[in-house]
Amino acid sequence: MAYTYDLTTTTGQVRLLCRDTDIVPTTGALYSDEEIGVFLTLNDSVVLLAAATALENVAANEVLVQKRIRLLDLQTDGPAEATALRALAASLREQYESAGAFDWAEMVTDPATYTERVYDEAVRE
């Protein structure tokens, strides 16, 4: 499993956004390049959506593995961490959706298309 961090590639950009940037030869990274490639494939090569999917995957693992544990002075809260990760993933998805935002573009060329435009505006409101 290869781990690379090159910001000129989509894999590196996904790593940056999902904070999988600590690539140490002994410990590796959260995801291999192949796994990030799958996230990109599942999300039509959209970096923001692939990073959101990666974060949601980490959030699910936090809940499954850590749960909520209190032992002496040690306390972990997997569900709280998962909530924060999901919020970050939602933020990435929102950025993607708002980046491509546009309003309706209609062209009126004759009386028939004018009538259609007036009707469409009424339906949208």
User: Is pLDDT at 104 greater than 90 in this prediction?
Assistant: no
Between 28 and 101, the higher pLDDT residue: 28
User: Is pLDDT at 102 greater than 60 in this prediction?
Assistant: no
Question: Do residues 47 and 13 touch, judged by C-beta distance below 8 A?
Answer: yes
Q: Which of 50, 39, 60, 59 is nearest to 92 (CA)?
A: 50
* Cα(101)–Cα(27) distance, integer angstroms: 40
User: Is pLDDT at 35 greater than 70 in this prediction?
Assistant: yes
User: Is pLDDT at 40 greater than 90 in this prediction?
Assistant: yes
> Any idea of the CA torsion for 115, 120, 122, 125, to the nearest 10 degrees?
-160
pLDDT of 74 reads 72
Q: At what angle do helices 78-99 and 47-65 cross, to 10 degrees?
A: 170
pLDDT of 9 reads 92
Mean pLDDT in residue range 60-66:
67
What's the whole-model pTM score? 0.60
